[in-house]
Amino acid sequence: MSRPRIGLTLDVAGDGRRYLLKREYADAVLEAGGVPVPLVYPRPGEAVELLALVDGLVVTGGAFDVPPELYGQARRPACGPSKPERTEAELALLREALAARLPLLGVCGGMQLLAVACGGTLWQDLPTDLGGRALGHEQPPPRDLPTHEVRIEPGTLLARLVGEEPLRVNSTHHQAVRDPGRGAAVSGRAADGVVEAIELPAHPFALGVQWHPEAVRVHEPRSQRVYAGLVEASRGRR
C-alpha cells in the first residue's frame, strides 16, 4: 500500500528567489509513515490542483505575524512583520482543504491562520494584551526544549492522540488565538489560559497546535503522535 502524501507549506528566503522548509517538518512526516510533499505558492485558482496531489496538509509556522486586517483589527505597534504572499497562499490552501475535508494540521502560526480562516481572532501581542497574566511564550534558544505544560481537554481529538495528561511543549510565539472561530473548539491551554490547541470536531481531522511538535518530539515523544494522527487520517484518502 502506498504511503499517504502530506503537503507542507513553505517559507520564502528574504530575496524572494528560494523556497525554504525546516527539515524537522519533513522528518516528522517520514517518521509517521507519510511522504512529505512541498507545496509551492498557488496562483489564484490553483489551490485545488495542488491539494489534489496530496492526502493531507501541514500549514507550517514561521517568524512572522498574521496580518490583523484579516481578522478585522487595526495593526498595533506590537504586531510584528507579516509575509502577505505566504499568508495569502496558505489561506487559499487552508480554505480549500477545509472545503474538501482534507486532513490538516496547523503548526504555531499555522494554527493561528486556521482560526482566522474559521472567522476567529488573535491576540496581536501577548505581553501587551495580557500583561503580567501571560507566561513567557517566547523561549530563548534552544527552541526545541519543552518549557511549559499544555492542559488537554478530555474527549478531544488532541486527547485521543497524546492522552489527557498535561503535555510538555516548546514555545516560540508572541501572538495567540483569542477566538478560535466558527465550528472550532479549544482543546488545550497553557497554565495562563493562552490557547495552545484548537480543532474542528465536525471535520475528519483538523487540528491546530501552538507549539512545534516536529521540533520538541526529540525530547517529548508524545508530540510525534500529532503527526502520526495526521498521517493515519490521511491514509483513508488513498
Residues belonging to the active site: 108, 212, 214
Bridge partners of residue 206, in order along the sequence: 104
Is residue 166 helix, strand or coil?
coil
CA distances from 32 to 20, 47, 106, 230, 232 (A): 22, 25, 16, 9, 8
Backbone angles phi, psi at 133, to 5 degrees: -75, -25
First to last CA, the chain: 9
72: left (phi over 0), alpha (psi -120 to 50) or beta: left
What nine digits make up the cell of 127?
A: 505581553
CA distance 31 to 43: 31
Distance CA 146, CA 190 (A): 13
